[in-house]
Structure 1
Amino acid sequence: MAELKTQRFALPTGVELDVTLGGDPANDAIFFLHGFPESHRTWRHQMPVLAEDYFVVAPDQRGFARSSKPAEVSDYAPENTVADLIALADALGVDRFTLVGHDWGGAIAWMAALKHPERVARLIIVNAPHPLIFQKTLFDDMAQREASQYIRAFRNPALEAHIESIGLEQFFDGSFMKHTDFAKIGDEKAVYLDQWGQPGAMTAMLNWYRASSIVVPAMDETPERPAWLNGPFPVLQMPVLVIWGTGDKALLPCQLDGLDALCVDLKVAKVDSGHFVPWENPGAVTDAISEFLKARVPA
């Protein structure tokens, strides 16, 4: 398998990102975006394999690991993280690329494909909801609304004080470990605790939730629906693969309903896994990506 290296990039968006790279830069590029509460290591099983045939790029996104951690909540608004992606591609001299995203990385990938379709040749989403479907289900599907109440907790400004009072490891065991199989993490726990323990990291990671405009109603309220839910929504023209871990407790199968109307060329691959699919069932994810890339050659 190909060797990977990490390089620091100072971007015109005002942040410095640690970026893991592999493969021949002359090959077609694949950019990988991780989600909460991880880093480029989300893709540790896929990148060495795919680097044999592609140029693979995986940043530690702003706020995570040792990348820059801007101070304001607004710094983590999705348009800023999309801008980081485009700036990184420009810095690497990559015009068009395949974009892969999981969790929050998937949310940014959806937005990047919608805002910059000229740059995204193929889109691969791993357990990350389409923004239109997600917002609709938070109003109309009470099971999804209940599963998403953690977002309201993450937006609570008192959460960091609570984490400090119980300790980072207890928070890790009581939150993250409830959503995955401990045996599949193995030695990675020490990596997580090191990255979460970087100065300002926990607040920065939580600020992704606080900066999002997605409305998460409480279980007993019915706020006004965002007006954009009733208007036309852009349909993605590039090939799209959605890989979905069917055991995800936070994002329910309703997130797949209606996707075919929002993507003209959609393939859905269901995988036996929980939410953290890329390392809970790595072989299935790598195979699905490889097969999709071979079948969907970009124009």
Structure 2
Amino acid sequence: MSEYLSIPTPAGSFDALAAGPEDGRPVLLLHGFPEAAVQWEHQVAVLGREGYRAVAPDQRGYSPGVRPEDVADYAIEHLVDDVVAMADALGWGRFDLVGHDWGGAVAWWTADKHPERLRSLTSVATPHPGALADALRNDEDQATRSQYMRDWRSRDTEKRMLAGNAEALRRMYEWKVPRDRVEDYLRRLSEPGALTAALNWYRAGRPAERIGKVGVPALYVWGTEDVAFGSTAALDTEKWVTGPYEFQMLEDVTHWVPEEVPEAFTALLLEFLGRH
């Protein structure tokens, strides 16, 4: 049975979905754009039943209690600090970290900056940022796929995305996310300031530092039909992991893995956690 939490941190209070015994092995799950913690509803419930303590927060900008107005407050270092602050508030020393889309990027950066805090890392869809940076420089296909990241920095993006009953946002989910879940996301993102806060993750610009190779045990799950991330960065991610590494390629699956194939993904996650 899932429950709702408020996680107090110096930045504000994060809303979260949780399940499992308080003393269970801790797992933190980070959502992507344009989603929320509820994207992990299936995984949180299953992990909880298996004895893990699973917590999925609405991240910075998505939680009304942590919605700063300054674009600079959405830089990657603040997003990583949020992960550590939430773990501290939950009383977790080491924990397993799972992320999808932007949550995956934050997970990779957290593994780089705080490897001592992570028992393992799982990224869904998002390749290692170093592999992605190389692909953006050297692979025309990836450069084309990633053009949206620059386009969404425009100040008229909110208006375009919400026009016509949020038609542009609806199309993003590619009809792979359950309809009622999409309506939930759109309701949340239509709240005053919510979509701007979510888009500020893109507007905050590049990290000040380069990311290094990751040494914690890592699982990377990628769907072959992912429109955002192509095969070049996906296959090159292995070069950026020095610890135990597993790559799971899901044929005919799109970007929305946790919600498109929840059972298959959760099985992969449980198997991976069981090995580490």
Does TM-score exceed 0.5, indicating one fold? yes
Alignment of 1:1-299 (within 5 A): 3-12=1-10, 14-52=11-49, 53-64=51-62, 66-163=64-161, 166-173=163-170, 175-177=171-173, 180-181=174-175, 184-213=177-206, 234-263=212-241, 264-272=243-251, 273-296=253-276
The secondary structure found in structure 1 opposite 2:202 is helix
Please report how far the alpha carbon of residue 163 of structure 1 lies from its aligned counterpart in structure 2 after TM superposition: 4.1
Please report how far the alpha carbon of residue 85 of structure 1 lies from its aligned counterpart in structure 2 after TM superposition: 0.9
Are the aligned partners of 2:15 and 2:57 in contact in 1 as well (CA < 8 Å)?
Answer: yes
Are the aligned partners of 2:161 and 2:168 in contact in 1 as well (CA < 8 Å)?
Answer: yes
Please report how far the alpha carbon of residue 280 of structure 1 lies from its aligned counterpart in structure 2 after TM superposition: 0.4
Please report how far the alpha carbon of residue 9 of structure 1 lies from its aligned counterpart in structure 2 after TM superposition: 2.3
The list of structure 1 runs, each at least 4 consecutive aligned residues, that deviate by more than 4 angstroms after superposition, is none
Are the aligned partners of 1:30 and 1:56 in contact in 2 as well (CA < 8 Å)?
Answer: yes
CA distance in 2, matches of 1:79, 1:242: 22
The secondary structure found in structure 2 opposite 1:234 is coil
The share of aligned pairs that are identical, in percent, is 37
Are the aligned partners of 2:127 and 2:237 in contact in 1 as well (CA < 8 Å)?
Answer: no
Q: What's the CA shift string for 1:122-168, capped at 9, x where partnerless?
A: 0111001211111111111000000111111101122224345x244
Amino acid corresponding to residue 143 of structure 2 in structure 1: R
Please report how far the alpha carbon of residue 250 of structure 1 lies from its aligned counterpart in structure 2 after TM superposition: 1.1
Please report how far the alpha carbon of residue 227 of structure 1 lies from its aligned counterpart in structure 2 after TM superposition: 9.7
Are the aligned partners of 1:60 and 1:67 in contact in 2 as well (CA < 8 Å)?
Answer: no
Are the aligned partners of 2:87 and 2:93 in contact in 1 as well (CA < 8 Å)?
Answer: yes
Amino acid corresponding to residue 238 of structure 1 in structure 2: V
Are the aligned partners of 1:66 and 1:198 in contact in 2 as well (CA < 8 Å)?
Answer: no
Please report how far the alpha carbon of residue 15 of structure 1 lies from its aligned counterpart in structure 2 after TM superposition: 2.3
The secondary structure found in structure 2 opposite 1:187 is helix
The secondary structure found in structure 2 opposite 1:26 is coil
- Structure 2 residue runs without a partner (length 5+): none
Please report how far the alpha carbon of residue 67 of structure 1 lies from its aligned counterpart in structure 2 after TM superposition: 4.5
Size of the aligned set, in residue pairs, is: 273
Please report how far the alpha carbon of residue 256 of structure 1 lies from its aligned counterpart in structure 2 after TM superposition: 2.1
- Structure 1 residue runs without a partner (length 5+): 215-225
Amino acid corresponding to residue 234 of structure 1 in structure 2: G
Change over 3 Å in CA distance of 1:34–1:94 after alignment to 2: same
Are the aligned partners of 1:32 and 1:100 in contact in 2 as well (CA < 8 Å)?
Answer: yes
The secondary structure found in structure 2 opposite 1:242 is strand
CA distance in 1, matches of 2:234, 2:161: 34
Q: What's the CA shift string for 1:97-119, capped at 9, x where partnerless?
A: 00000000000000000000010
Are the aligned partners of 2:161 and 2:169 in contact in 1 as well (CA < 8 Å)?
Answer: no
Q: Greater CA deviation, 3-12 or 103-112?
A: 3-12
Are the aligned partners of 2:27 and 2:95 in contact in 1 as well (CA < 8 Å)?
Answer: yes
CA distance in 1, matches of 2:221, 2:232: 14
Structure 2 length-normalised TM: 0.93
**What's the Cα RMSD here?**
1.8
Please report how far the alpha carbon of residue 65 of structure 1 lies from its aligned counterpart in structure 2 after TM superposition: 5.3
Are the aligned partners of 1:61 and 1:67 in contact in 2 as well (CA < 8 Å)?
Answer: no
Structure 1 length-normalised TM: 0.86
